[in-house]
Amino acid sequence: MGIFDGQVVVVTGAARGLGRDYAKYFAADGAHVVLADLKEPTSAAADAAKAGPRCLAAQADVTDRDSVAALMRRCRDEFGRLDVLINNAGMWRGLAEAGLLGIDDELWDAAWRLNVTGSLRCFQEAVPLMAEREYGRIVNVSSIASRQGNNAYGLTKNAVEQMTRGMAIEAGEHGITVNCLAPGIAAFEAAQSQLPNADAMVAGNVVKRVGASRELYEGLRYLCAAESSWITGQTLRVDGGASAR
């Protein structure tokens, strides 16, 4: 038996990368997974379905309220419930390099719209569905960069962590916990993003390597378990010890 047997999990930003891996791991742990992404997530859903029960692809724009509402209606129509929401969708490419002096209006606005407003929209539409059963787990995905104030990525992720605390306060009366996962540099990012400072970031870790998607998922698994009902409003940093310095 899996830890999430019979539960319904929505993972946003699930068409590729870490989100795709998270969906697969949730499925392997027994969950029905709805993979949501602006990019068509059909391939990712088929991959996740090999690991577990029913997995659905849902093309959705998390920055658009109507699109998110449609996503939650599909959860209700297909499964009649929602147990877990992973707010993983976000953007980061080019944000650190632009800094604050160099970032243009379009990129700045896009970062806040996707990284912050997108998580808020999903939270707002998920809570009423979860509240029907007085149970839910919501995890917002932040980053090790949340402690940086010199670029839009770090600033938006800092906002996500602060917003998580407010979400937890408002959702708690409905039996819903809201927490945040702040990953360090992962193998996917290091290999595929051509981060100019990847080596320096790894050197700053206490554990001198990049993280694996499975290791990040273990943090999600812990926060989403039924036994974690007294943990809410917290940020779990899974970063090889980088934030310990």
> For the chain, first and last CA: distance in Å?
39
Q: How far is CA 176 from CA 89, 173, 221, in A?
A: 21, 7, 15
Q: What is the pLDDT of residue 204?
A: 81
Q: What is the pLDDT of residue 148?
A: 87
The tens digit of pLDDT for each residue in 96-120 reads: 788 899 899 999 999 999 999 999 9
The tens digit of pLDDT for each residue in 26-48 reads: 999 999 999 999 999 999 999 99
User: Which residue intervals of the chain are DSSP H helices?
Assistant: 17-28, 42-49, 65-79, 95-98, 105-112, 118-131, 152-171, 187-192, 198-203, 213-224
Provide DSSP, 75-95: HHHHHS---EEEE-----TTH
Q: What is the pLDDT of residue 185?
A: 84
Contact call for residues 153 and 92 (beta carbons, < 8 A): yes
Q: How many CB atoms lie within 10 A of CB 174?
A: 15
Q: What is the pLDDT of residue 232?
A: 98
The tens digit of pLDDT for each residue in 163-214 reads: 999 999 999 999 999 999 999 987 666 555 556 677 778 888 899 888 899 9
Please identify every residue annotated as catalytic: 153
Q: What domains does the chain contain, in order, with CATH numbers?
A: 8-244 (3.40.50.720)
Q: What is the pLDDT of residue 245?
A: 81
Q: What is the pLDDT of residue 194?
A: 56
Q: What is the pLDDT of residue 191?
A: 54
The tens digit of pLDDT for each residue in 109-156 reads: 999 999 999 999 999 999 999 999 999 999 999 999 999 898 899 999
Contact call for residues 34 and 48 (beta carbons, < 8 A): no
Q: What is the pLDDT of residue 208?
A: 87
pLDDT at 240 over 60: yes
For the chain, give the number of residues: 245
The tens digit of pLDDT for each residue in 213-231 reads: 999 999 999 999 999 999 9
**pTM recorded for the entire structure:** 0.95
The tens digit of pLDDT for each residue in 46-93 reads: 999 998 899 999 999 999 999 999 999 999 999 999 999 999 999 987
Structure tokens at 151: 């670029």
